[in-house]
Amino acid sequence: MKNSTQSLSIRWFYLIVGVIAMLFAGIIYAWSILKAPLEAAFGWAATDTALNFTLTMSFFCIGAFVGGLISKRVGTVASIIGAGLIAAAGLFLTSTLSGNVVMLYLFYGVLAGAGIGIAYNVILTTVSAWFPDKKGLCSGVLLMGFGASALVLGNLAGSFIADPGLGWQFAFRFLGISLGIVMVIAGLILRKPPEGTVFPQPKAGKAAGGEDFEARDYTTGEMIRRPTFWRAFICIVFLAAVGNSVISFASQLSQSVGAEVGLATTLVGVLSVCNGLGRILTGALFDSLGRRKTMLAANILTIAAAGITLIAVLVTSLPLCIVGLCLTGLSYGSCPTVTASFTSAFYGTKYYSTNFGLMNFNLMGASFMATASSALLTSSGGYIAPFILLLALAVIALVLNLSIRKP
């Protein structure tokens, strides 16, 4: 009983610490704001910076998988602190760029991306271990912090960039140092529950949404041999591709339908807020409605987001574009929460850190789709072709979604 009482009190504190840490880690989602001064300073093309975003998300996924492995060997403290220092170094070194785009890929894409990926997995799995009764809500709240970074830190960085006395170099240095400090503090605080800790248990069948299968722990090898894993994986890749693509050119998209530069920056923040809301709402829905209904709702929302934004581009409507960006944020926010909650519900908690790290590679697939969208944007000279592609992917995802039944 003593362990139970202590756990129920300390876990909420850990959740708050986790949200703050994830807020700083989520700075990679502010790339559409951070890339503009680099393109202006060095004359880099949109395809150059789009490739950097793809590399960042790819190494983020690699880092997340590695985080699941190394946390078991070196522990939570060393994993979070080490990851934070690697990511901080990447951001700080980005401020020293002198025009070589390869160094951007190395500093921001590889170092910052991998470091944030490691921290992302370790923080999420560590804090989630304290909430076996509220898996979806806990994941959603943590991921809300991650998604809200573009609004909070992205706009702060944008104000630094716009200030002639500070500029983009200061912005990257500030972000790097701040991220490093926050991760060191989080690493010193966060701990996994001790053996024997007693928590409230979820209602029977709730986590699985009442679906007809026997819950058990699957190893990573067993998981990847299940056809359902691949259907879910590809489904989430296609859903996340919509949000991933729009995030990479959200500011420019808004301006193309008539938004002023200031409003376009604000809309990037609005997309980020909806991204955060989508994460926490999806978590709550997962706990209350179950896996199947939540994933179908997220899929339909993604189809609506791509469809409305396509119409906005066709008729050059700023109001419709704003609606499309809001829906895109909500739908994209649902993807990481679905990834985390689905992995736990279908494949158990014993091997969750590595299973989640592997499932999280869907973001890498989505980032390649974002690169394809940017290539279509460049080749076609407009946003119609990219959004036709994204709408088609969302519809294909629905077909895959409907086929997901048992692990």
pLDDT of residue 17: 96
Most confident of 80-94, 150-164, 257-271: 80-94
Confidence of residue 208 (pLDDT cuts 50, 70, 90): very low
Higher pLDDT residue, 131 or 370? 131
**pLDDT attached to residue 197:** 74
Average pLDDT over residues 278-294: 85
Answer yes or no: pTM beyond 0.75: yes
Q: Based on C-alpha coordinates, what's the Rg of the chain? A: 20
* Count of other CB atoms within 10 angstroms of residue 307: 17
Most confident of 144-148, 272-276, 373-377, 399-403: 399-403
Q: What pLDDT is attached to residue 1?
A: 43
Taking residues 248-255, what's their average pLDDT? 85
Q: Where are the domains of the chain?
A: 2-192+216-402
DSSP H helical segments within 148-195, as ranges? Answer: 149-162, 167-189
- Residue 179 has a pLDDT of 95
Average pLDDT of span 28-57 = 85
How does pLDDT run across 140-161, given as a tens digit for each residue?
A: 889 888 878 877 888 899 899 9
CA distances from 161 to 42, 192, 278 (A): 15, 39, 29
Residue 5: what are its φ and ψ, rounded to 5°? -65, -45
* CATH class in words for 2-192+216-402: mainly alpha
Q: What is the mean pLDDT of the chain?
A: 87
At 170-199, the pLDDT tens digits run 999 999 999 999 999 999 999 988 877 777
Question: Which is more confident, 32 or 112?
Answer: 112
Q: What percent of the chain has a predicted confidence (pLDDT) above 90?
A: 44
Angle ∠(192,196,200) on CA atoms, nearest 5: 85
pLDDT at 314 (0 to 100): 94
pLDDT value of residue 104: 94
3-state DSSP call for residue 73? helix
C-alpha 364/C-alpha 35 separation (Å) is: 19
Task: Please state, in angstroms and rounded to a whole number, the distance separating the CA atoms of residues 197 and 8.
Answer: 10
Q: 305 vs 208, 282, 320, 395, CA distance in Å? A: 27, 16, 10, 12
Q: Which amino acid is at 209?
A: G
